[in-house]
Amino acid sequence: MLHKQPHRRYLKVSELLTDLTLAISSMQSASTIETSPQRFLLNIGQVKNYAENGFLSALRPHGVVIDIRAGSRVREFVDAAHDVGAEAIVDPVTHYVRSPLAVRPAGFRKLPYGSAPVLTGFSDETSRREFCTNVLDSVTADEPDAIVSPYFYAAENEQSWLTESVACAGLTEALLTQRGQVTSMWLGVAVHSSWLANERQRDLLLTALTARQWRGVHLLLSTTQAPFGPLGDVDTLRGLRDLIAVLREAGTPVIVGRRASSGLLLLALGAEGWSTGVSGNLMNMTPHPEDETSGGRSLDRIYIPGLVNLVSIEAYLLMRARRPEYVELGTPQAAALLDGNPSLDDLSSEERILLLQHNLIAQSRQVSELATLPAGQRIARLRTWVDVATERYRALRI
């Protein structure tokens, strides 16, 4: 308890788990591990058409994280979340205030805090309070159940921006209390993967997050991997394992935001929730842009439950031709899509909506399967999925 870095007292068990195999063995043999909730959350960003016409009733997420840039439609999605018994959360995407005005997303510039000069830090508590007040007014206007506190992306060794995120969270929570608002708040943190892969930086991160207890931590992680791919950086995974364990022992749930299917592993490791969406920036945290960026439309990808991964349409068709039983999709949306367009050529807007809906439904089903298991069996189940997927990939080599 007297350690200079208080979170270290929670790492005594984790330090014994030298790799993921030992972690699996430990959890399999543990009978007293408390089962934590397993929540699947949908991120609604700039692409919204797939979430209309009652789709949320089919998906039934535990929560809907709504990008504040949805503007007048924020209220629509708050109401839609409530209609299916899901928690509505508004994300202020405040990390964009560090970008030059000319390269900020157009929807962000329309916000009360979106056209301010480039933020390089706060000169005093008054300026910080003014910023947080403007953000709070915006994110609570449509009466969500919860908000993500203002946050700023912290690149490698950018400790000052991590400190600012935590300071803004504390101030925002105080403002909520002063106003008597019942909206709850998650601490928003956005960091480069080095904050988890590097032990020194991880110590700094955990010290900041455990200085006090939060209702929850909404963790956004930027990695160099392709957004749709599984999280394959072992050092980062071990760092996430330690962070989740530390915060769980400290009584603070962790929601890992904007991840692809790697979110399943993080749920098995003890995260309370995982959010994902249909575009690349909702499967991997994208830092605030510094310069103009351009690019074409991304490839359509399809989620294959038996491979626990999103693959390109071209790869799916090659795999299906060789071993169709390995790439079964198993959702009504996929069945309707393939019935109308078995070769998946030149997808229409309606067909692309079915594709996106399938991807989300299939992942949500796997979360539900994990949720039925005791905590000590979740990693074992995921390990089985990964082992099966690995063998199938080997058999499917073209």
Q: Which amino acid is at 356?
A: L
Written as tens digits, the pLDDT of the chain (398 aa) is 333 444 443 343 333 233 344 434 433 433 333 445 689 999 998 788 888 878 999 999 999 999 999 999 999 999 999 999 999 999 999 999 999 999 999 999 999 999 999 999 999 999 999 999 999 999 999 999 999 999 999 999 999 999 999 999 999 999 999 999 989 999 999 999 999 999 999 999 999 999 999 999 999 999 887 777 777 788 998 999 999 999 999 999 999 999 998 899 889 888 999 999 998 888 889 999 988 776 556 789 999 999 999 999 999 999 999 999 999 999 999 999 999 999 999 999 999 999 999 999 999 999 999 988 887 788 889 889 989 998 998 888 75
Residue whose pair of structure tokens reads 């809906």 in the numeric block: 357
Can you give the pTM of this predicted structure?
A: 0.88
Residue 49 CB partners (closer than 8 Å, separation 6+): 349, 353
- pLDDT for res 280: 83
d(Cα 253, Cα 12) in Å, to the nearest integer?
19
Residue whose pair of structure tokens reads 């995120």 in the numeric block: 165
**Pairing outcome for strands 184-192 and 153-154:** parallel
Three-state DSSP state, 273: strand
Is residue 380 within 8 A of residue 24, CB to CB? The reply is: yes
Is residue 40 within 8 A of residue 274, CB to CB? The reply is: yes
Structure tokens that stand for 382 in this block: 């995921």
- pLDDT for res 2: 32
Can you give the three-state secondary structure of 127-138, one letter per residue? Answer: HHHHHHHHHHHH
Say how many CA atoms lie within 13 Å of 367 toward its Cβ.
31
Is residue 271 within 8 A of residue 256, CB to CB? The reply is: yes
* Residue of 347, 345, 366 lying closest to 356 (CA atoms): 347
Residue whose pair of structure tokens reads 């949500």 in the numeric block: 364
d(Cα 304, Cα 390) in Å, to the nearest integer?
13
